[in-house]
Amino acid sequence: MMTVHVLHAGDGYTYLTRQVASHDQTRKRGEDLTDYYTAEGNPAGVWFGKGAAALGMSGEVSEEQMKALFGEGLRPDADEFIKAKIAEGMSAKEAHAAARLGRRFMVPQTGTDEWAKMVGAAYREFRTAHGRVPEPGVERDLIRWDLATSHLQEQLGRAPKDAEVSRFLATIGKQDRQPVAGYDLVFTPSKSFSVLWILADKERSQQLHEIHNDAVRMTLNWIEQEAGKTRVGAGGVAQMDTHGLTVTMFEHFDSRSGDPNLHTHAAVSTKVQGVDGKWRSLDGRILHNLGVAASERYNMLVQVLSMQRLGLAWTDTSRGRDKRPVPEIAGVDQNLCRARSSRRVAIEDEYAKLVKEYVTTHGHTPPRKAQQAMLEKANLATREAKDQLRSLDEIRETEAQFAEQYLGVGGTQAMLDDAFSAADIGERARLLEPMDLDQVAEYVLRSVESSRTTWRIDHLEAEANRAVAAYFTTHPELDPLAFRDALLQRAVDLSVRLTADDPNPVPAALQLANGSSIYRLYRGETYTSQRILDTEERLVQAAQTTAGFRVPEDVFDATLAEVNAAQIAAGKYALDPTQAALARHFATNGGLIDIGIGPAGTGKTTSMRAFARAVEAAGGRVLAVAPSAAASTVLAEEIDVEADTADKLIQIHTTGTPEQRASDRYRIDANTVLLIDEAGMASLPMYAKLLDLAEAHGASIKALGDYQQLAAVEAGGTLRLLDKTVGAVALEHVYRFVDQDEAAATLRLRDGKESALDFYVTRGRTHGGLRMTLLEDIYDAFLRDEAEGKEALMLAATNEEVVALSARARIDKIAAGTVSAEGPTLHDGNRAGVGDRIVTRDNNRRLRANQGKDFVANGDLWHVLEVGDDGSLKVKSIRHDGVVTLPAWYVAEHVELGYATTVNRSQGMTVDTTHTMIDPDGTAREQLYVAATRGRQGNHLYVITDDTLAADGHSPDRDKDSILHGLERVLAREQAELSATETLEQEQEAANSLQRLVPVYEDANVRVLGEITKMKMEIIVRSVLDRDAASRITDDPAWATLAERLAAHEARGSDVRALLRDATATREIDGFNEARSLAKVLHYRVGDPAGAPTIELPSWITPPPGSVGHDPTVRDWVNEQADLIANRIHTLTERVEAARPVWMESLGYAPEDSAQRALWRRNLARIVAYRDFHHITVDTPIGPPPAHDDPAYADAVAALRALRGTAATAPSDAAPTPPTATPLSDRVGEITAEPSRQTLADVVDENTRERRERQI
């Protein structure tokens, strides 16, 4: 596989020199890197790539070269280069500038921040006073609270409010973003490959080594070809080809923990030279996009080359539930492979222990140097004496001894014989039929379709590489790379491109070398299949069709009255208007497919119970299905209908017996209404198959869910598509939470509004820190809640965290005597004894409980009653109290501890409190919403704000962050997949929007001038302004646009020098110098030249060149683009004037007078242009102002004033400019300012408040 890690500028490169190039050991001071690396038997780092060759770099890599390139952004040979240039007569400053590759890395200052110092001092005071460190939880929280209170009181001169203290704690800690100096691509073959390589005889071992090296280099060559692009123009609007990548390659023979692990680190510098000769930054978007495809290409090459050269056979090996199988070499003992990975776990545990001890003592994350020392200490603490730096021969000898001990005498040779015994497979395969390209391409397409509704070429490429590796086993006559290329092209041809064509195709001068537009992200096109589009269209049509069982209105009214009476008699409340409306819609609308939307905690069960009773009263029946067995069982109990998984219902009607299909549990007829619960998690194929059943039997479908919660794992977006195209009845009132402010906050959270976070911050629901310490905090909070008698739930981001939390809980329960230590080993590696809580992770309908009424389902929770001698477990259901014995094989393969779960498995659960790990680098908005809506009494969010070195010594990719900013990042990340139909609509709309048209127009407008004109404008600027200001302007990304405007003025006879003097002298010079972008400010102040083309464009868009320009093809293209922009504005203005959206309510109507009407429309067009350019969707005319100066916003403000006739008054919807980052002592203003927050009355009415305690 290949993984991608970020290398930060500054000292980020030291991971490669200290940990990779020095065989995972810290070098002694003064020791030469190359001598050390070679002396210990590891190959020296080497240069690779066309970029390295262009710089004259080849052979071995030195530490000085790494520091120059990755640490300072200089030529690798900077020292020699600078000396040579000075000898030629350059000044030292000029020589250093000549050695710099593009812009310098802006590395922020690091070190222990002010807040960390304050916390550390407070912890030391506590330890001195009490003779111990503060306990996790209350004591530590109180220390931080008191510190924040004292600090704010000193700044404010008064006692701060609790909300102010909470906001301060949530916003503290964010540091400036670290610049990226490179990407560490780590190529690692499968574990069986490394084991075979280290144990085989030297000849075969060398062949395996060469196979790995060849696969790495072939993959890197492909990456260089595909990802070697840079960004140019204002905002990086265009891409440019480069002369290649500059790469340093370091090879390792074993892991930090000492087990055999052949792998190569390929450090790719972000410094690339464009085809224009200028050095810029690598466009990392492409590299990240093709990461999986590159990894699968490497995997394929390793497999194919090993089959070609050594006749090895490969077989897919399970990595566990919900994970794609990994190809491993057949014949290599997998238990031996796992045994050689055990020491890494020990190192990670010891390292985590040391970090936790530091945080406990000091109250903050240890600095990087301290982390490195802890990692070395953990390594030494777990290392046997013989596990020092070793030559390859020593490694081989050690591993041979271990394998012989593990496998027994003669076991190693027997394993090697098995692994290499497939040498004749090629001869057998030649007897098979020739490969059918179309057949394999269809397989590739269907494989991609099964997991997504839309894809990029990278997804097809990854699947094509997997297919080549699989098919090569039986078709060794194939040229793998040629076949892969043909297969990929055929899969692309079978796909349907959703990305819209450019409305104005670019000329050759605006194309990359491969003929694609420089304004299109290379490899960024979106595709789907005709099959998916047809299926979505069929579902939409079904939702617009009347069919199936329908409840008469009078029957529904009578049933609703009975249900409401029963509710009241039971001490509950009648259905609210939206609950009644949803039940009525499902019962009486009569659609073949009807849709309902139910946010978390809105009483879906109450509504569906009324719907089911109405259907039954009219002579019909509701048959419910859900994505999971556990959910379907709960649904059946709650609304008293037959229910099962959708997959099971489909399977029965596809391959089941006639008796099964006719049974009450699965029977479908014209009186049947299929109810899909959690319909947002249902995949497109599932909808299609259920529709097949409904149409075949005259039934209908009612789908209830929420596409703003968790979506389908497979191809999704269906529920959202049906809601957007046909419409749905939605529940509105939230009943679940004790605190109704929390109910209101969850709805804002669901919509991605940052104002929702204020509730969690000010109520003490947010916590921040290191992942490993937050796991402890989550567990401690869980323990406190359980001690108070609350039903608490720990939610984690990964399965590994779930395992760790559950293990932690079990340890304490054993110590407390409530759980037996002895028990069988479970699927997650933990043990389970009497008293433990476990979760079953696989449906088994043969294991029955509760008098046969229930089966063992995926997601069910159980208490262990007895442990069998054979490893079986007698367990009791937490839900229905039924008892069943789980056989030993099931326990080993499908049982885990159940004290914690992932967010994705928690949807549908309701408890008293939750404690959730939030990873700003991975958690999505939908996951945050689900996690924050499981607990009735409280939902706590534990946000990872910092990270430590990985156990292998790799620096973390994340920057240190604050709690609040981390949560804001989560809100901005939508995980749910859109349908292909909606994606197509968005792509078509985006292609014609000003957000797309204007930036490329402005960039091309600049290119019309040519370099000579820009150089002339630079001379003029430097003659008017001082050196610093001129350099800031000409180094600005917006310089080219300013130069174009200055040149346009000159072409029309203006004195450019005079214009510049006026622009800087007639306004406050201090404000000018403090501007973020001097080039943009001058562009705005200079204004359009007199006599500019009369095409109707807003003032903030540069006029088209007309007949000016050195390249007529680009000039003509720009003029045509200007026409497109003008037409877009005209079309949108007509559209909004006719439709009058909400944001126009305050603008009145067009005047009767024709002249005034024309002026009114021009001003409206200016606002429309601004909204389209910035993709404004709020219900006010122009929304809040941007964080920085924006001429487009200023123009929209002026237009809004003119429309309202109040030129002296600011727009009513203008909001304060967001604050920029400031030092700790200067942040009091932003902390104490009350945020604008939607009131409870906006979301939850008084009737909801009154009934929430009694409503189900």
Residue 929 lies in a domain: yes
- List of E strands, 469-605: 496-497, 527-528, 593-597
Beta-strand pair 527-528/935-946: unpaired
User: 129 lies in a domain?
Assistant: yes
| Residue 695 and residue 588 share a domain | yes
Residue 1211 lies in a domain: no
In angstroms, the CA 614 to CA 559 distance is: 5
Asked whether 345 and 255 are in contact (CB, 8 A), the reply is no
**Integer Cα distance of 835 and 815 in angstroms:** 13
| Amino acid found at 707 | Y
Residue 1041 and residue 905 share a domain: no
Largest Cα–Cα distance in the chain?
A: 102
**Chosen domain end from 1204, 1221, 1242:** 1204
Q: Where are any strands of DSSP class E within 205-278?
A: 229-232, 238-241, 247-254, 260-269, 271-273
Residue 1189: predicted pLDDT: 76
| Residue 992 DSSP code | T
Check whether residue 774 and residue 918 sit in a common domain.
yes
pLDDT digits 0-9 by tens, 1207-1240: 323 333 443 333 333 333 343 333 334 333 333 2
Q: How many domains is the chain partitioned into structurally? A: 7
> Looking at the domain assignment, is residue 519 inside a domain?
yes
Residue 1225 covered by a domain = no
Segment holding 935, helix H or strand E = strand 935-946
Q: Which two tokens stand for residue 995?
A: 């957000």
Q: Which residues of the chain have pLDDT under 50?
A: 19-39, 110-112, 343-344, 348, 384-387, 423-433, 949, 951-953, 956-957, 1069-1070, 1206-1256
Q: DSSP letter for 1142, please.
A: G
Say if residues 288 and 279 touch (Cβ distance below 8 Å): no
Shared domain check, 422 and 437: no
The β-bridge partners of 901 are 795
What pLDDT does residue 129 have?
79
Predicted confidence (pLDDT) per residue in 629-653, tens digit: 877 888 888 899 999 999 999 999 9
Residues 779 and 712 in one domain: no
Sign of dihedral through CA atoms 1178, 1180, 1182, 1184?
A: negative
- For 1134, 1135, 1145, the CA distances from 1139, given in Å and listed in that order, are 9, 6, 11
Conformational region of residue 520, where left means phi above 0, alpha means psi within -120 to 50, and beta covers everything else: beta
Residue 333 lies in a domain: no
Residue 160's nearest CA partner among 762, 742, 760 is 762
Q: What gap in Å lies between CA 510 and CA 1007, rounded to an integer? A: 9
Angle at 861 between CA 349 and CA 666, to 5 degrees: 135
- Asked if residue 826 and residue 696 are part of one domain, the reply reads no
How far apart are the C-alpha atoms of 638 and 163, rounded to whole Å? 40
The residues near 698 (Cβ < 8 Å, ≥ 6 apart) are 547, 548, 669, 670
645 and 562 co-located in one domain:
yes
Do 148 and 249 sit in the same domain of this protein? Answer: no
Q: What is the distance of C-alpha 1043 from the center of its chain? A: 39
- Find the domain containing 142 and state its range: 120-171
Residue 902 falls within a domain, yes or no?
Answer: yes
* Residue 691 resides in a domain: yes
Query: Tell me, what amino acid is at 282?
Result: L
Global pTM reads 0.82
Domain boundary among 672, 697, 730: 730
Would you state the structure tokens that stand for residue 854, as one six-digit string? 């229930």
The three-state DSSP-derived secondary structure of 494-523 is HCEECCCCCCCCCCHHHECCCCCECCCCCC
**Domain co-membership, 653 together with 719:** yes
588 contacts 552 by C-beta, under 8 angstroms: yes
Both 1037 and 967 in a single domain?
Answer: no
CATH number of the CATH domain containing 559: 3.40.50.300
- CATH number where 820 lies: 3.40.50
Helix (H) or strand (E) holding 928: helix 925-931
Residue whose pair of structure tokens reads 């320009």 in the numeric block? 1109
Determine the pLDDT at residue 1231: 37
Q: What is the pLDDT of residue 1240?
A: 27
Question: How does DSSP assign 322-347, residue by residue?
Answer: TS--EEEETTS-HHHHHHTTHHHHHH
Q: Is the dihedral of CA 386, 387, 393, 399 positive or negative?
A: positive
Kind and range of the H or E element at 694? helix 684-697
Confidence at residue 585, expressed as pLDDT on a 0 to 100 scale: 97
Q: Which of 702, 730, 758 is the last residue of a domain?
A: 730
**Rounded distance between C-alpha atoms, residue 941 and residue 968, angstroms:** 13
Residue 472 phi/psi, 5-degree rounding, is -65, -25
Domain match, 687 and 829 both: no
Residues 142 and 93 in one domain: no
